[in-house]
Amino acid sequence: MPPLRLVFLGSDPIARPLLDWLAGAGAAVAEVVGVFTQPDRPAGRGQQVRPNAIKAWAEARALPVRQPERLTPEFTAQLAALCPDLGLVMAYGHLLRDDFLAVPRLGMLNLHTSLLPALRGASPIQTAVARGLRETGVSLMRIVRRLDAGPVADRERIPIHALDTALEIDARLAAACVPLVARCLPLLARGELAFAPQDEAAVTHCRKLTKEDGALDFARPAAELAARINGLFPWPGCSAALGPEVLKFGLADLAAGLPLGAPGAPGSVAGSDAEGLLVWTGAGLLRLRRLQRPGGRMLPAGEFLRGFPVPAGAMFASRPMPALLVPPRPPAPAATH
């Protein structure tokens, strides 16, 4: 059986391990014949316009690249000209019209970084960690008109460990796409890949994150605060004011079994141990393992405290923490991926 002619649609470097596999060992299963990605945009501190990682990957292999601001009929015709058997979408960021979705012979599939039906929406990686889940994964689904609501063919699961941040989980999910696609594409090519509807009773939705999501309320339990800090690193990042300074946090956990006496007020510093700065919360002791001052670097706690001592009794200010899950959305006219 000849390789499937595959058009990839995506804009985020999370897809690079999968694309590298498709260009190597996976080439016998599917040949990438074109790439659709977001237009070049300013990035970094200098706000220089640069190609994203997916465009750079495609150009290095002399593949056709399309970068529409929106998917007009012109780009539907350009997709059709590639004669694709399959469209594979991951973190693309465009509304996909019905005429565009209908072009590939075997349809359009999407890789979504959660165990659907959990965490449909814009921030499944960060939200999974920030809510203290112990497992997440990648789901391969058909695209339908409702956001992330299509039937699912298969899932690849990964664990979330206590000291994982969204950064580690992003990398682990990127790698998890490879075995998932490797076992599904041959079945799809033979007409043997089965899709099952999602359980609508188990659906949860996450939303696009903002800088305000980095607020911390120290009256909440330490385990909840640690998960929030880890899940929102590196962006938007959690922070709290300590007097005139606003400190950012890059890694945290629950400190248990330390002989520190009666709990202090939520947000008050209890001291430090070999691994981090210890802060009282509404339930338990929070250990801040990585910290950063404005204009500085994110540092391990020991190194940070040598340059910026924080005495016991110092008080972090609390702020209300926005909810990361949102009510289900009404059916939309098209699906964003």
Per-residue pLDDT for 95 more than 70? yes
Query: Interhelix angle for 16-23 vs 53-60, to 10°?
Result: 10
Contact in structure between 266 and 282 (CB atoms under 8 Å): yes
pLDDT of residue 223: 97
Per-residue pLDDT for 22 more than 70? yes
* Domains of the chain by start residue, with CATH: 4-206 (3.40.50.170), 211-307 (3.10.25.10)
Classify residue 114 by burial, with Cβ atoms within 10 Å: 0-12, 13-18, 19+.
buried
Question: Average pLDDT of 294-301?
Answer: 96
Per-residue pLDDT for 6 more than 90? yes
Question: Average pLDDT of 130-155?
Answer: 97
Segment 165-203, tens digit of pLDDT = 999 999 999 999 999 999 999 999 999 999 999 999 999
What is the number of residues in the chain? 337
Residue 29, both tokens: 């299963």
Q: Are strands 108-112 and 135-142 parallel, antiparallel or unpaired?
A: antiparallel
Among the listed ranges 6-10, 118-122, 138-142, 330-334, which one has the minimum average pLDDT value? Answer: 330-334
pLDDT of residue 42: 84
Segment 27-84, tens digit of pLDDT = 999 999 999 999 998 877 777 888 899 999 999 999 999 999 999 999 999 999 999 9
Contact in structure between 266 and 318 (CB atoms under 8 Å): yes
Question: Average pLDDT of 272-298?
Answer: 96
**Angle at 127 (CA atoms; ends 163, 132), nearest 5 degrees:** 45
Question: Average pLDDT of 279-285?
Answer: 96
